[in-house]
Amino acid sequence: MAKAIISAGICGFTTRVTARQDGRRCALSIESDCADIQKLAAELKQVDPYQEISFRGEGPLTFRAFKKCCLHPACPVPAGIIKAVEVAAGLALPMNVSIEITKTEE
């Protein structure tokens, strides 16, 4: 099992993901303050971990479902979901990720 807590940024929304390997599939539990991510959670109950880590074929179901439910392509939640799936499936080791954003004058 793997868990991810994703703080999306300026919107202030937090998403909690639990991924559990279940045979060849990975079961997902997604809870979020964001209405769009709640729609995504309703569609994304389980995924094939090998499909999630590749753009071959149809690509990750997470990104396809996200495109239908959410309007903000810079949202880090889909990447966080896929990272949790990777760890739950034994395809990656658990390691925190981060994005630091600053605005500078040229």
Domains of the chain: 2-88 (3.90.1010.10)
**Residue 28 φ then ψ, to 5°:** -120, 140
Please tell me the predicted confidence (pLDDT) of residue 24.
93
Please tell me the predicted confidence (pLDDT) of residue 61.
97
Q: Tokens for 103?
A: 């605005």
Please tell me the predicted confidence (pLDDT) of residue 53.
94
Residue type, 55: F
- In tens, the pLDDT along 89-104 reads 999 999 999 999 999 9
- In tens, the pLDDT along 21-77 reads 999 999 999 999 999 999 999 999 999 999 999 999 999 999 999 999 998 999 999
The conformation of residue 71, written as its DSSP 8-state character, comes to S
- In tens, the pLDDT along 4-15 reads 999 999 999 999
- Dihedral sign from CA coordinates of 54, 76, 44, 66: negative
**83 contacts 4 by C-beta, under 8 angstroms:** yes
d(CA 46, CA 52): 11
Q: Residue 106: pLDDT above 90? A: no
d(CA 30, CA 47): 13
**2 contacts 19 by C-beta, under 8 angstroms:** yes
